Amino acid sequence: MKIIMLGAPGAGKGTQAKMIAGKYGIPHISTGDIFRANIKDQTELGMEAKKYMDQGLLVPDELTVKILLDRVAKDDCRNGYVLDGFPRTIPQAEVLDKAVEELNESIDFAVNVDVKDENIIKRMSGRRACLKCGATYHIEHIPPKQEGICDSCGSELVLRDDDKPETVKKRLSVYHEQTQPLIDYYNKKGILREVDGSQDMNDVFNAIVAILDGADKH
Ligand code: ADP
Ligand code: AMP
């Protein structure tokens, strides 16, 4: 099963993608996580991506598309994957379509996690991320067992540099301009499904599972 998670930054794509990956036994692929791992390791790719990420801008398509295509070509993607944060532009979506079509395959669903901008700002300021294993928490809604420490790997949790309110506003405007058009793109292909992302995370997950298991009557 090949799934794309759509939604504004902070809508809960990563939270849901991890749960989907766990339930369906497919890899969770986050281009943001790949960039952050590269920044942490101070690779050339990481240093280049950081310039854009720190300003709330998208990393250029040429760089992003390459890392995504390399990742989905790996063996663990043979039974599918859940993409979180890719595609973010129409050209990225077109490259993905082409790559999937070349394998005579198709994307099953593009799930749009819908959350209003006001709620996004609140979510981002409370988000805490583990840069080691990619786990994400929220200081109020989804707290770790021990404050500031990752439940999964015991590393220290941080407020991402790009989750500061000024950068979040920029990221939201970039989202509306460059990424939101993908909703229409996938709607026209007949694979768009919408979920209300302002619900409790387990309710959002149940709505997604109903869609993926075909119980959804759209
Ligand atoms: P995205 O991957 O779309 O940027 P995340 O999954 O990282 O978003 O979620 C953003 C923040 O909101 C995180 O702090 C996360 O713990 C929290 N969060 C995710 N889903 C929910 C939810 N349904 N209700 C409340 N908070 C949530
Ligand atoms: P995320 O973790 O998905 O919120 O991504 C964090 C940041 O990484 C974004 O604000 C972008 O700067 C960059 N990024 C992640 N995925 C992409 C993508 N598909 N295209 C361009 N930039 C991306």
d(CA 64, CA 33): 12
pLDDT of 146-198, one tens digit each?
999 999 999 999 999 899 888 999 999 999 999 999 999 999 999 999 999 99
User: Is the model more confident about 217 or about 127?
Assistant: 127
The answer to whether 123 is a known catalytic residue is no
Nearest-10 crossing angle of helices 61-72, 31-40: 100
Tokens 């794309």 sit on residue = 4
> Which pLDDT value is given to residue 195?
98
Angstrom CA distances, 12 to 73, 113, 137, 195, stand at 26, 7, 11, 11
End-to-end CA distance of the chain: 19
* Other CB atoms within 10 A of residue 16 CB: 26
So where are the chain's domains?
Answer: 2-115+177-216
As a whole number, mean pLDDT of residues 44-60 equals 97
> What's the 20 CA to ligand 1 centre distance in angstroms?
14
Residue 186: CB within 6 Å of ligand 1? Answer: no
- Confidence band for 215, pLDDT divided at 50, 70 and 90: low
Q: Give the percent of the chain with pLDDT over 90.
A: 91
Q: Which ligand is nearest to the CA of 129?
A: 1
Amino acid letter for position 4: I
Amino acid letter for position 199: Q
* Other CB atoms within 10 A of residue 204 CB: 23
Q: Which ligand is nearest to the CA of 162?
A: 2
Decide if pLDDT at 43 tops 70. yes
Joined together, the tokens standing for residue 204 give: 């959002």
d(CA 147, CA 28): 25
The residues, any chain, with a CB within 8 Å of residue 190's CB and separated by 6 or more, are none
Model's pTM, two decimal places? 0.95
> Which pLDDT value is given to residue 216?
57
Q: Quick one: CATH architecture of 2-115+177-216?
A: 3-Layer(aba) Sandwich (3.40)
pLDDT of 99-119, one tens digit each?
999 999 999 999 999 999 989
Average predicted confidence (pLDDT) for the chain: 95
Identify the residue whose C-alpha is closest to ligand 1 atom 19: 12
pLDDT of 58-79, one tens digit each?
999 999 999 999 999 999 999 9
Question: Cis omega (within 30 of 0) on the bond before 87?
Answer: yes
